[in-house]
Amino acid sequence: MYNIEYDRLKELVDQHLLSFLPEIDGKSGKVREAMEYSLNCGGKRLRPVLLLSACKFCGGEERRALPFACAIEYIHTYSLIHDDLPCMDDDDLRRGHPTNHKVYGEDHALLAGDALLNSAFEVMIRDLFLYMDERRTLLCHIRALNEIAKGSGCRGMIAGQCADLESQNKQCSKEMLEYIHLNKTGALIVSAVRAGAYLACSDINTLDDLSSYAESLGLAFQITDDLLDLFGNEEDLGKRPGRDVEKQKATYPALYGVDASRQKVLQETENAVRIMESYEERGSFFVQLARALAERIS
């Protein structure tokens, strides 16, 4: 999608995504079907790819990070299913397919989302048992688990979703918009790289650099999404554009205008690039990724 290494990691995630789901029996098969439906609907797999590449960057084995990588995609997917529900954004289309509740009904979509969030934790917790006799590795895994739990919770992603709800249909301050973006999209992206780094028992300095990189990347990514919602077409986006305006959502273009928003994307991208360029060749994957994401609006 963005370069060969990205495609390789994305492929790895796609191959393993369903294999870590907890086994369930036929009697609750429809919720499982609904879970798989949304997991199979495509997507960039940005969060798991970031987790795997951060782990590798810090000297870890990417295969050992796969359960956590898949778990973070379960969390992202659950958040999309719940976000699309009629009582939230009420969207019919996602990644070019009918949204989960359009296919399975609101009741099953709700449960499928709940089950994906719970499964994410089940998968990561089960993974800890592999390291019961390797104290240092076990502690690093617990730190990674803690990082993801924080990023997806009400000090992270859910805080952003809630602030997003609060700010609809009313004047939103710049401070509030920043808060929404940093939490709703940013928190889980930052958690992805931090968890990846923790899994490799990274040192603090590298952890800090990766965090700053991910924060800038996440912000650039979200503003790009806001711009694409204004100017993109349904085929490329996989969903109907113009929804943010309809719903009077707080977005960068709405608050700062289109030009300043593009400027902000470039600025955050350069910030991200600068941090990882200091690692020279070793940081090139992250540099290329930041540039490629910004190119979506060039």
Residues 6+ apart with CB under 8 A from 280: none
What backbone torsions phi and psi does residue 11 show, to the nearest 5 degrees?
Answer: -60, -45
8 A C-beta contact, residue 142 and residue 128? yes
Contact between 129 and its own copies by CB under 8 A: the answer reads: yes
Report the relative pairing of strands 97-98 and 93-94 from DSSP bridges.
antiparallel
Q: Of residues 84-103, which lie at the interface with its own copies (CB under 8 A)?
A: 85, 87-88
Question: Which of these ranges, 19-27, 209-217, 269-277, 283-291, lies near its own copies under the rule CB under 8 A?
Answer: 19-27
Is 246 within 8 Å of 255 (Cβ atoms)?
A: no
Taking the least distance from each CB to its own copies, the nearer of 1 and 130 is: 130
Query: What crossing angle do the helices spanning 46-57 and 66-84 adopt, rounded to 10°?
Result: 160
- Across-strand partners of 93? 98
Q: Rounded to the nearest whole angstrom, what is the least distance from the CB of residue 107 to its own copies in the complex?
A: 5
179 in contact with its own copies (CB under 8 A): yes
Assess 159 for contact with its own copies (CB under 8 A): yes
In single-letter form, the type of residue at position 217 comes to: L
Footprint of its own copies on residues 132-151 (CB under 8 A)? 132, 135, 138-139, 142, 145-146, 149-150
Closest separation between CB of residue 164 and its own copies, Å? 9
**Using CB under 8 A as the criterion, what x/- string covers residues 27-66 for binding its own copies?**
xx-xxx--x-------------------------------
Instruction: Report the residue from 1, 3, 22, 174 that binds its own copies according to the rule CB under 8 A.
Output: 22
Is there binding between residue 201 and its own copies (CB under 8 A)?
no
**Sole residue written with tokens 């999209």:** 185
- The residues facing 97 across adjacent strands are 94
Q: Which of 93, 103, 125, 255 is in the footprint of its own copies by CB under 8 A?
A: 125
